């Protein structure tokens, strides 16, 4: 039993509170399993009308997953990492298919695994403190937890832009892109939670009562440039387009992409291209699981976590170091489905 996530009911409202503040509520396998256990129990409980996910204290909703553990496992036999991904992706899919209203309060840092537990929810509340990103290419990973599904469905190649650059979106930008369904000021959250506990069956009205007018989304001004310059699914084409544009914005984004793992960037573009064609979220999760189990064992992931999170020298040595040296065959091998008996499976439907 973990205390890193609190699960309880408050009247007819199921409550899931992330409670690992020193790690910005980053998810562990035990946390994922505890959340799933509560959701499965409440799915059958007629007294529970809706489920609310938030964090207990601190400035982050959820900063992601326990990537240091993943890298150490990847450097070994990868089994612990595979077990984590299996549990996390089951939780993601359970939320995506949940029959009761789910509400996520995305107050603060919402990255990686935090995106995975908020975007499947029916109601996604952003605040002025929301900072949402999928920064995985900076550590040699890729935007998983459904990133291939969600990002590929954003307008105007914004998903590809986010995957390659790890761009951080504020609450207004999340609302503009419909990553968040509502924008509520942080000061109103306690009152919102109190009202939800009283009338969880009318979650839409409760959230609407506290919704504020979101500021202008800064990303809106860059949508035409993003649509034009990130139009290709070829990493080399995107970088060439940014270089040819020669504006300060394009130069900044090009420099950002050059700091990321070339292999991860190519993997991410392919994941989004394939994700856009999928019609079942379970298929997305199965594909991402096979991919994740292989990517955590690559040089770039182990090196990226070392450079950014363990030694913190911020100087990862990617291999290959440039996009042109990343062979199509290398990417193809990462996307091969797992053999029978090893593939990811969702929880049985109710």
What pTM does this model have?
0.97
For the question of residue 113 being annotated catalytic, the response is yes
Cα 306–310–312 angle (5° rounding)? 85
Instruction: Report the C-alpha gap between 266 and 327 in whole angstroms.
Output: 10
Which pLDDT score is estimated for 43? 97
Average pLDDT over residues 15-40: 96
Assess contact for 161 and 167: CB atoms under 8 A: yes
Q: Which of 33, 66, 88, 136 is catalytic?
A: 136
Task: Label residue 34 exposed, middle or buried (CB < 10 Å: 0-12, 13-18, 19+).
Answer: buried
| Helix 203-210 and helix 189-198, axial crossing angle in degrees, nearest 10 | 160
Which pLDDT score is estimated for 245? 97
Which pLDDT score is estimated for 246? 87
pLDDT band at residue 1 under the 50/70/90 scheme:
low
Q: Which of 64, 65, 112, 148 is catalytic?
A: 65
Phi, psi dihedrals of residue 110, rounded to the nearest 5°: -130, 95
| pLDDT tens figures, 164-181 | 999 999 999 999 999 999
Q: Which of 66, 144, 173, 300 is catalytic?
A: 144
The overall average pLDDT reported for the chain is: 96
Fold classification of 5-334 (topology level):
2-enoyl-CoA Hydratase; Chain A, domain 1 (3.90.226)
Which pLDDT score is estimated for 127? 98
| Cis check: omega of the bond before 310, within 30 degrees of 0 | no
What is the percent of the chain where pLDDT is above 70?
100
Instruction: Report the C-alpha gap between 288 and 89 in whole angstroms.
Output: 9
For the question of residue 311 being annotated catalytic, the response is no
For the question of residue 144 being annotated catalytic, the response is yes
Instruction: Report the C-alpha gap between 94 and 37 in whole angstroms.
Output: 10
Assess contact for 140 and 197: CB atoms under 8 A: no
Closest CA to 295 of 103, 148, 110: 148
């Amino acid at each position: 039993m973990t205390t890193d996530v609190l699960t309880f009911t408050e009247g007819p409202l199921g409550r899931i509170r992330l409670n690992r503040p020193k790690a910005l509520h980053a998810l562990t396998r035990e946390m994922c399993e505890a959340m799933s256990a509560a959701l499965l129990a409440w799915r059958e409980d007629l007294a529970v009308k809706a489920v609310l996910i938030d964090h207990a204290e601190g400035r982050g909703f959820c900063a992601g997953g326990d990537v240091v553990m993943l890298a150490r496992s990847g450097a070994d036999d990868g089994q612990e990492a595979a077990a984590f991904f299996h549990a996390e992706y089951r939780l993601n899919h359970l939320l995506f298919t949940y029959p009761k209203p789910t509400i996520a309060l995305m107050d603060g840092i919402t990255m990686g695994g935090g995106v995975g537990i908020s975007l499947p929810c029916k109601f996604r509340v952003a605040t002025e403190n929301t900072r949402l990103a999928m920064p995985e290419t900076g550590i040699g990973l890729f935007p998983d937890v459904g990133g291939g599904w969600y990002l590929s469905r954003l307008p105007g190649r914004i998903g590809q832009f986010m995957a390659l650059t790890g761009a951080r979106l504020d609450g207004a930008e999340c609302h503009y892109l419909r990553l968040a369904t509502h924008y509520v000021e942080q000061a109103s959250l306690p009152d919102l939670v109190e009202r939800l506990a009283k009338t969880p069956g009318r979650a839409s009205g409760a959230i609407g009562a506290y919704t504020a007018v979101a500021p202008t989304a800064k990303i809106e001004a860059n949508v035409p440039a993003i649509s034009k310059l990130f139009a290709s699914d070829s990493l080399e084409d995107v970088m060439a387009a940014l270089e040819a544009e020669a504006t300060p914005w394009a130069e900044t984004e090009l420099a950002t992409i050059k700091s990321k793992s070339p292999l991860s960037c190519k993997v991410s573009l392919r994941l989004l291209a394939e994700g856009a064609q999928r019609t079942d979220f379970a298929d997305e999760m199965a594909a991402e699981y096979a991919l994740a189990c292989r990517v955590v064992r690559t040089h770039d992931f182990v090196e990226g976590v070392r450079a950014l999170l363990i030694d913190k020298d911020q100087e990862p040595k990617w291999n290959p170091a440039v996009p042109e040296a990343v062979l199509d065959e290398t990417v193809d091998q990462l996307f091969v489905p797992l053999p029978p008996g090893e593939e990811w499976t969702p929880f049985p439907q109710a």
